């Protein structure tokens, strides 16, 4: 079984366990999903309604995670507003003991500070990781997990960063890419000099450890 931590497209492949992203305003039409307010899609007029939907969904066993949610310094929505919505979601994740799938752009210091200040004790996974070994170490040292996908396929240098991540702290994903999760696993196996079966076993173990019902 291949595990896909984060995708927006459900494939219904019986050999792939997919956590499909579904925003609060999207219907639930998949076996397992995550749900959250993406910083790009914050609508303050709808925020309370969306948070209410998220709280309801987090009580659904098929809802495996909160997310994707997070912080993005490269968009026009003020960071203060993003932080406000992000923190409300993290408190829900704590309440319902659900892992968090994070969208994070240029706000690593803020993320670490918020995690400590709110005492977030559920697993938090930075999806689509694309940064250098120094950033990876900072996040790993602060208890975060890293998920790799699109950038692993197109950036050879990221393979070296990925190879240095502890075996129990990474996930693989497709997000919005056209390539399938099989191609991501193939690239990941090459980067870590592992065979596909061993890699598949490791990701499966990580998934079951973090998500409990995977």
Tell me the two tokens of residue 185. Answer: 């696993």
CA distance 71 to 130: 15
> Cβ distance 67 to 34 under 8 Å?
yes
To the question of whether residue 175 is assigned a binding role by annotation, the answer is yes
To the question of whether residue 127 is assigned a binding role by annotation, the answer is yes
The 3-class secondary structure across the chain, one letter per residue, is CEEEEEECCCCCCCCEEEEEECCCCCCCCCCCEEECCCHHHCCCCCHHHHHHHHHHHHCCCCEEEEEEEEEECCCCCCHHHHHHHHHHHHHHHHHHCCCEEEEEECCHHHHHHHHHHHCCCCCEEECCCCCCHHHHHHHHHCCCEEEECHHHHHCHHHHHHHHCCCCCCEEECCECCCCCHHHHHHHHHHHHCCCHHHHHHHHHHHHHHHHCCC
Binding site per annotation, positions for a divalent metal cation: 68, 103, 127, 175
Binding site per annotation, positions: 68, 103, 127, 175
């Amino acid at each position: 079984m291949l595990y896909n931590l984060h995708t927006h497209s459900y494939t219904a492949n019986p050999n792939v366990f997919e956590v499909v992203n579904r925003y609060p305003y999207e219907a639930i039409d998949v076996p397992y999903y995550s749900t959250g307010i993406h910083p790009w899609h914050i609508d303050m007029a709808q925020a309370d309604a969306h948070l209410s939907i998220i709280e309801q969904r987090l009580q659904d066993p098929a809802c495996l995670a909160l997310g994707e949610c997070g912080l993005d310094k490269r968009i026009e929505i003020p960071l203060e507003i993003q932080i406000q919505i992000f923190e409300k979601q993290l408190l829900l994740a704590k309440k319902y003991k659900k892992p968090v799938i994070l969208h994070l752009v240029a706000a690593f210091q803020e993320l670490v500070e918020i995690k400590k200040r709110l005492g977030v004790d559920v697993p938090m996974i930075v999806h689509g990781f694309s940064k250098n070994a120094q950033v990876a170490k900072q996040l790993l040292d602060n208890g975060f997990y890293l998920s790799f996908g699109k950038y692993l396929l197109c950036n050879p240098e990221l393979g070296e960063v990925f190879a240095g991540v502890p075996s129990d702290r990474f996930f693989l994903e497709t997000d919005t890419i056209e390539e399938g999760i099989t191609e991501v696993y193939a690239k990941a196996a090459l980067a870590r000099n592992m065979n596909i079966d061993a890699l598949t076993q490791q990701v499966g173990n990580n998934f079951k450890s973090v998500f409990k019902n995977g």
